[in-house]
Amino acid sequence: MNALMCTQYCGTGHSSMGGKIWVESEAKYQEWLENGDASAQSMPLKDLGATLYTSRGCSSCHSLDGKRGQGPSFKGLFGEQVRMIDGKTLLIDENFIRAKILQPQAEVREGYQNIMPSFQGVLRDREILALVEFIKSQK
């Protein structure tokens, strides 16, 4: 393990801005890329989804209380029939949520702008499952 110090003066508390670096083998790094850390692997899916909702920025556009944001609220969303901008109606189920996370531009809900970024290659499969479970739990 090595320690490092911030080299940019960026404001109050600068002297306490440090970090640590762990160097692992290539195999351990590849395993981490694929599976994440041990705490994420052992966390129940719904709890991991709640963590990702905040850490991956979902909360900036999707509320949990029913209020409309840049994107629809997750409250009561699962199982709903929604109209897309092309006029077709789709069921919000596990497959729909997964597709929206990976290819959000493919189907855009009526009344919303086409602004959601893709998380393809950003989220692991277990993280996508976790977000699906979290969204399903928002009744």
Q: How far apart are the first and last CA of the chain?
A: 45
Q: Is the pLDDT of residue 101 over 90?
A: yes
Q: Which residue is associated with the tokens 């694929």?
A: 34
> What tens digit of pLDDT does each residue of 11-33 get?
666 667 777 777 889 998 888 77
CATH code: domain of residue 73 = 1.10.760.10
Residues 43, 41: Cα–Cα separation, whole Å = 6
- Record the tokens describing residue 78, joined without a space: 């699962």
Count how many domains the chain has.
1
For residue 42, tell me if it sits in a domain.
yes
For residue 68, tell me if it sits in a domain.
yes
Decide if 104 contacts 122 (C-beta within 8 A): no
Residue 7: C-alpha distances to residues 1, 11, 94 (Å): 19, 12, 45
Q: H or E element: which one contains 48?
A: helix 45-55
For residue 80, tell me if it sits in a domain.
yes
Domain that holds residue 107: 38-137
For residue 9, tell me if it sits in a domain.
no
For residue 118, tell me if it sits in a domain.
yes
> What tens digit of pLDDT does each residue of 39-78 get?
778 899 999 999 999 999 999 999 999 999 999 999 999 9
